[in-house]
Copies of this chain bind each other. A is one copy, B any other.
Amino acid sequence: MTRHDPLARVRIVLVRTSLPANIGATARAMLTMGLTRLALVAPKRFPHPDATALATGATFVLDAANVVGTLADALAGTSLSIALSARPRHFAGRVLGIRDAAHEAITHAASGDVALVFGTEMSGLSNDEVARCSAIATIAANPDYASLNLAAAVQVAAWELRMAAHGGDVWNAPRFRSATHEDIEALYAHAQRTLEALGFYDPKHPRRLWPRLRRLFARAGLEHEEVHIFRGILAAIDDACDRARRA
């Protein structure tokens, strides 16, 4: 993460959190996605051994947390603040899905500081607290059981922020050498001879065998070494057929 990483300008704000374990799990969830700025508004108990235990390798996020008395303090310096809310609010302003909210947050982070604000485990943010934020974000959930754990909600939000900032890089398995067109055609020619000798394939009644096999292997994209394996299997079958013929 560099100072130009937009994630460096996004802070996570937890308001009046009850359980220290949730603060620790939040720090871990944040760091897995590259977020390090945590603000705690009037936490019930902090610091606390449970918080430290749950943060595992992310304790430096806890150590650097900004512990303040009011939401206004936590939002100081931000120019976009997004309140997370699971339930509809009567006087809500703009309500965004978390994916759109994350895109807006990352766009904004090019020029200013952003806060994502999470309420208490039991009742979320108060209407007053929501009203202090620029917009509301909601995480679409099972309407019959929308009860995301606090750190789980932070994990989803942090994931969406990272995807918005950096997209989803995937690691790639080492690439092996692709088979050439000639390799593959030679394989089909060999297979045709062998399967005919084996009595599995009758050129007079092909029953769409080759189009099906070609479709399968085209889908896979054969590698050089795989063609080699199949040629070896075909050669072994040829030997068995020879021995059987001599029987």
Contacts and interface: CB of A to CB of B under 8 A. Distances in A.
A212 B225 contact: yes
Contacts of A213: 229
B219 A32 contact: no
Contacts of A72: none
Contacts of A139: 159
Interface stretch (A38-46, A110-118, A237-245): A237-245
Contacts of A173: 88-93, 95, 136
Contacts of A97: 167-170
Interface size class of A (residues with CB under 8 A): 35 or more
A171 B212 CA distance: 19
Interface string A212-247: 110011011111011001001100110111011011
A199 B152 contact: no
Interface in A49-98: 56-58, 87-93, 95-98
A37 interface: no
Interface in A158-182: 159, 162-163, 166-174
Contacts of A169: 97, 140
B171 A95 contact: yes
Copies in the complex: 2
A147 interface: yes
Nearest to A156: B159
A47 B243 CA distance: 58
Contacts of A209: 229
Contacts of A171: 87-88, 95, 138
A237 B240 CA distance: 8
A176 B218 CA distance: 16
B163 A28 contact: no
Nearest to A172: B95
B244 A98 contact: no
Nearest to A174: B90
Contact of A170 (B28, B32, B96, B226): B96
A241 B100 CA distance: 46
A15 B212 CA distance: 36
Nearest to A217: B220
B148 A32 contact: yes
A142 B34 contact: yes
Given A163-B99, A168-B98, A33 B142 contact: yes
